[in-house]
Amino acid sequence: MDVLLDIAEPGESRDPHEMRPEDQRRVVGIDLGTTYSLVASVDREGKPRCIPDSQGRYSLPSVVYCQEKGGEAVFDIGYDARSAVADRPEDTIVSVKRFMGRGLEDIQKDNVTSPYHLHGAEGGMIRIEAAGRQISPVEISAEILRVLKDRAEEVLGGALFGAVITVPAYFDDAQRQATKDAGRLAGLNVMRLVNEPTAAALAYGLEEAREGMYAVYDLGGGTFDISILKLTQGVFQVMSTGGNSSLGGDDFDDSLSAYLLQEMGPVKQDAEMMQRIRQISRNAKEALTDADSVDVEVPRANGERFKKTITRELFDGLIKKLVRATGVPCRRALKDAGIVPTDLQGVVLVGGSTRVPAVRQFVADLFKHEPLCDLDPDQVVALGAAHQADLLAGNNRSDLLLLDVTPLSLGIETMGGLVEKIVPRNSPIPTARAQEFTTFKDGQSAMAIHVLQGERETVDECRSLARFELRGIPAMTAGAARIRVSFQVDTDGLLTVAAQEQTTGLAQSIEVKPSYGLSDGEIEQMLRDAMEHGASDIEERMLREARVEAERVLAALGAALKDDGHLLSESEKRKMKKDMRVLFDLSQAEDTQAINQGVSDLDKATGFFAQRRMDRSIQQAMAGKKLEDFG
């Protein structure tokens, strides 16, 4: 017999919106990392936990070894692939995350050293040659995600409903799209992309804490990121982000390696020796997390062994400048958020390099708070992603709303090669913003929409994202048309741009999927350039705007002379053309004030011509009519 009614004691009835454990959807959070990747889920007690493999290991090395067997590509992933790095480096792909959403020109420009043969391909994104074939970074990432998916399904006992995948806060549109495509290729329903700092904050349950501001300090092996987050009435908003893509724990290892080489004296620094010293330095760094000193031994070529005791004090001195360098983006992020350290409620540590005692002490001194570090910094991002996946799947009731931000401003090109910003940097997403523009020339029937990303004032200093055209604009005088350009950035940070002519409803839109995106370094450089060149950029913008206005005035006067030159005497025409020539010459110079004065002088000198044209138009309108006809 079916159960029709569930009777319970007063106060013990189930919330009608609460799912039974057996009804909950299987969802996971995935940290797709540069060096290691992890997958996590929320258990029946509501606690997020990382999912281990059959040998009890939580992390999966982000390494893929490509082979060809029977004409088919075969992949070894993770620990199985890592052993092939030394023997088959060209077929063993590591750190593929740095290639996601990027083009061959980007890799070459950044002088990224790589054992791989890289190729440009249709659509712009690079291909990596391995095992006699060209493979995209999306395909490689999909193989890593597929292993994590299979692991989760085996442990959770069935097919997954969906997944949340984390991305660096500075990932741009192309890199986010590439990550999402990799998830789909792996057979995952990607419910959301979440920024890594936001996921880390979620892992600490900050949504349950009292309202306030939190900093997320993320120091990994190769990069550093800082984010300021704010919780207000269930809205969890990223206020600002910053970082340094060329600073991380690997630099700590290099500092200790350089010290050891100096102490050893003359030594053959071949690749094998350098790799050995780097590994010894990494082991010493990790040991000094808990120990006050550690003894290291480096074998020499002659069979002898160099021995040295490394104290924590010595190591702290070697990395002091590197640790202090993380303070620059931290202070900038605080300034962007409009707060001081004492306004924070807490600081979350993320990344294995935050285990270094000197780092933790620096963070405590900088932010005036003892950092939150009771969760494994390597697992915290995956745990937070699992928490968000559980919320999105409806397994857990919460009024929490996540609002991440755009890392750089988005806008379009206007006359004179200027950039009009429509979505400012650090705008909360999802967002929709629009602005109206108009035509520059009489009878203009099309408008080119050039979408840009960056903080500078001119097109050549920003990154081009996409181009499209709005055609079929009705013929009108310059400035009469009204074209509304709309930007929409969704919860994953992906952009759609639309343009519509308001009088006719004519519209055109594009989902911005650039073939490759910005590196973290490029984003940081854009921000630094915007700060360093702020005053000169404003001067350059004012100069270009003055030139555009001069061009507009000259074009309008030229058209007026062509149509109504008969209203002027020959001497008046000569004088007007001479005045126009003066303004044209001024517009070629670099003096903004002189150009503006020239425009003003020409307006005054030609005012009588404008008056005659107006009088003529009124006479034509009144011809054959009586005064009472206008009453």
Predicted TM-score (pTM) of this structure: 0.61
Closest CA to 319 of 244, 258, 376: 258
User: What is the band of 600 on the pLDDT scale with cuts at 50, 70, 90?
Assistant: confident
pLDDT at 298 over 50: yes
As a whole number, mean pLDDT of residues 122-139 equals 79
- Residue type, position 260, single letter: L
Confirm if 488 and 526 have CB atoms less than 8 A apart: no
Tokens of 93: 């792909």
Distance in angstroms (rounded) separating the CA atoms of residues 135 and 126:
9
User: What is the band of 623 on the pLDDT scale with cuts at 50, 70, 90?
Assistant: low
pLDDT at 160 over 90: yes
Distance in angstroms (rounded) separating the CA atoms of residues 416 and 418:
5
Confirm if 177 and 190 have CB atoms less than 8 A apart: no
Lowest-pLDDT range, 338-342, 358-362, 615-619?
615-619
Four-CA torsion 243, 249, 251, 255, nearest 10 degrees: 140
pLDDT at 73 over 60: yes
Distance in angstroms (rounded) separating the CA atoms of residues 595 and 543:
8
pLDDT at 340 over 90: yes
CA distances from 588 to 186, 198, 444, 583 (A): 57, 50, 25, 9
Tokens of 494: 């992906």
As a whole number, mean pLDDT of residues 241-266 equals 83
Most confident of 238-252, 288-302, 532-546, 603-617: 288-302
The pLDDT value recorded for residue 405 is 65
User: What is the band of 130 on the pLDDT scale with cuts at 50, 70, 90?
Assistant: confident
Look-up of token digits 């994590």? 148
Q: DSSP 3-state assignment of 602?
A: helix
Distance in angstroms (rounded) separating the CA atoms of residues 200 and 348:
7
CA distances from 611 to 233, 564, 602 (A): 60, 12, 14
Residues 6+ apart with CB under 8 A from 448: 413, 467, 468, 469
Closest CA to 101 of 32, 192, 31, 23: 32
Confirm if 241 and 426 have CB atoms less than 8 A apart: yes
Closest CA to 428 of 242, 241, 243, 214: 241
Domains and their CATH numbers in the chain: 25-101+129-204+378-397 (3.30.420.40), 208-244+327-374 (3.30.420.40), 249-324 (3.90.640.10), 406-532 (2.60.34.10), 542-622 (1.20.1270.10)
Q: Quote the mean pLDDT of the chain.
A: 79
Residues 6+ apart with CB under 8 A from 207: 231, 234, 236, 398, 400
Dump pLDDT digits (tens) for 393-403. 877 655 555 55
- Residue type, position 534, single letter: G
As a whole number, mean pLDDT of residues 76-102 equals 78
Within 10 Å of residue 85's Cβ, how many Cβ atoms?
Answer: 16
Cis peptide before 430 (omega within 30 of 0): yes
Distance in angstroms (rounded) separating the CA atoms of residues 430 and 486:
13
As a whole number, mean pLDDT of residues 182-196 equals 88
3-state secondary structure 85-110: CCCCHHHEEECHHHHCCCEHHHHHHC
Look-up of token digits 């350290």? 341
Look-up of token digits 């620096």? 362
Strands 36-42 and 48-50: antiparallel
DSSP conformational letter for 355 = G
> pLDDT above 90 covers what percent of the chain?
20
Dump pLDDT digits (tens) for 474-488. 888 777 788 888 888
pLDDT at 7 over 80: no
pLDDT at 301 over 90: no
Dump pLDDT digits (tens) for 427-473. 767 777 888 888 777 878 888 888 888 777 788 778 777 777 777 78
**Helix (H), strand (E) at residue 37:** strand 36-42
Active site residues: 31, 97, 196, 218
> pLDDT above 70 covers what percent of the chain?
80
As a whole number, mean pLDDT of residues 57-83 equals 84
CA contacts within 13 A on the Cβ side of 350: 30
CA contacts within 13 A on the Cβ side of 279: 8
